[in-house]
């Protein structure tokens, strides 16, 4: 019998728990550790920010589906991973041993890297967590009583740009609905070298599509931006030249702001030699295994991926939903092979399917693989994208509630667009 532990129950962790349970032997034990008893659908947080969703709409209680699928849910905070001892020290003093470990923690949000950034003691909102989005909604409602300049974007070192674009467009849509748009100058501030870079050097014509959306919505932008400091009512931003020198310093007025932070590895795994890089992200090989500790796998936002190219301001690489699911499937299949005395053979495609909702439209893209050069490099915009995002939200939440990580309809749709999770 083997004891397999999944650390984290976000998008990657909760699906990994189900798929590892499927691939493991009947006698093997599967445990999922998470700080809370619920799963939150983070892609819906921009909707929460403007009041289009409530907390209860995007949370799933995990205890019932985990139990039904034969997965033990252990609720608590992991204090420190001890890979030499093959165990996890919990904050309450409990020690959780493992034979195999899947790290799916997601990131720590590095708000502290910039003065005044973030919802805790800072002056900007966040959509990275349901608690942040709820607090942001309260702040947004107050803002609408006395509107003024809005700044949305992503700071230096950020790697998740899609939600920044979504939040800017969704806020703009909501302001138009409330007949307040004419009172709100909007600026998009991003570390990307150009609009639509997305940490991926663009996908298809995301540059043209997103620039067009911003022009249509009268949203100004500053790229190659380095946020220096955020004060009450003001954001100080350096616009950087290609050689890294400062082109211009902007003192931007603001009454409401949502800025995505940079990510780093969580404290439980940070500073473990051979396991993580200097930023605390888990090092993995083509089979999602750590080279030094082959019994440890990494999936999702917590793993280390090198950027596709150098940029004047640091830009990270996003780990999109389908890309993460491909890592999950490869990991589950490889663990199944190892448990049966075989060498792992499965590799994730890291293909990406992304739907970015803009409130009354949006942009969708397919990248195969997500990191260039690509076999497929396609993007499109249209009103249908908003409805597609709504449909996907409902589908994925149902998938989590039922504990079924895959079904025949999903596989048929993926085959139709020739997009797969595993390399063949």
Catalytically annotated residues: 160, 354
Name the burial class of residue 196, with classes exposed (0-12), middle (13-18) and buried (19+) by CB atoms within 10 angstroms of its CB: buried
* Beta strand ranges found along 150-233 (DSSP E): 150-154, 186-190, 219-222, 225-231
- CA–CA distance, 228 with 237 (Å, rounded to integer): 6
- The C-alpha angle 168, 57, 355, rounded to 5 degrees, equals 45
- CA–CA distance, 293 with 209 (Å, rounded to integer): 43
Terminus-to-terminus CA distance in the chain, angstroms?
30
CA–centroid distance for 351 within its chain: 15
Evaluate whether 284 touches 304 at the Cβ level (below 8 Å): yes
How big is the chain by its Cα radius of gyration, in Å? 21
- CA–CA distance, 381 with 165 (Å, rounded to integer): 13
In eight-state DSSP terms, residue 58 is G
Evaluate whether 186 touches 172 at the Cβ level (below 8 Å): yes
Beta-carbon contacts of 164 under 8 Å, excluding residues fewer than 6 positions away, are 152, 153, 154, 158, 188, 190, 258, 259, 260
């Amino acid at each position: 019998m083997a004891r397999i532990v999944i650390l984290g129950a976000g998008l990657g962790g909760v699906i990994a728990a189900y798929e590892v349970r499927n691939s493991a032997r009947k006698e093997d034990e599967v445990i999922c550790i998470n700080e809370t008893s619920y799963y939150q659908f983070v892609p819906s947080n921009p909707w929460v920010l403007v009041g289009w969703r409530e907390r209860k709409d995007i949370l799933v209680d995990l205890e019932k589906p985990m139990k039904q699928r034969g997965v033990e849910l252990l609720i608590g905070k992991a204090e420190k991973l001890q890979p030499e001892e093959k165990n996890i020290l919990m904050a309450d003093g409990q020690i959780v041993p493992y034979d195999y470990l899947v790290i799916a923690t997601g990131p720590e949000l590095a708000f502290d890297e910039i003065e005044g950034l973030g919802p805790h003691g800072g002056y900007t909102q966040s959509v990275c967590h349901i608690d942040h989005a709820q607090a942001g909604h309260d702040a947004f409602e107050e803002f609408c009583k006395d509107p003024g300049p809005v700044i949305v974007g992503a700071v230096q070192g950020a790697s998740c740009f899609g939600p920044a674009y979504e939040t800017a467009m969704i806020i703009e849509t909501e302001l138009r609905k409330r007949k307040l748009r004419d009172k709100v100058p909007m600026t998009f501030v991003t570390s990307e070298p150009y609009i639509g870079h997305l940490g991926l050097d663009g996908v298809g014509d995301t540059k043209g599509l997103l620039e067009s959306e911003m022009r249509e919505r009268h949203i100004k932008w500053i790229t190659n931006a380095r946020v220096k400091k955020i004060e009450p009512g003001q954001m100080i931003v350096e616009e950087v030249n290609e050689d890294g020198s400062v082109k211009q310093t902007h003192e931007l007025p603001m009454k409401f702001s949502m800025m995505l932070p940079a990510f780093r590895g969580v404290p439980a795994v940070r500073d473990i030699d051979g396991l993580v890089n200097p930023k605390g992200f888990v090092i993995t090989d083509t089979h999602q295994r750590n080279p030094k500790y082959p019994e440890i796998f990494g999936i999702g936002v917590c793993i280390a991926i090198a950027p596709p190219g150098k940029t004047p301001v640091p830009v990270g690489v996003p780990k999109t939903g389908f890309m993460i699911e491909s890592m999950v499937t490869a990991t589950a299949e490889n663990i199944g092979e190892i448990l049966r005395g075989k060498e792992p053979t499965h590799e994730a495609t890291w293909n990406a399917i992304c739907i970015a909702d803009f409130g009354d439209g949006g942009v969708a893209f397919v990248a195969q693989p997500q990191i260039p050069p690509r076999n497929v490099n396609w993007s499109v915009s249209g009103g249908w994208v908003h409805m597609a995002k709504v449909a996907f939200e409902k589908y994925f939440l149902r998938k989590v509630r039922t504990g079924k990580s895959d079904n025949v309809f999903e596989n048929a749709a993926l085959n139709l667009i020739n997009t797969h999770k595993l390399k063949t």
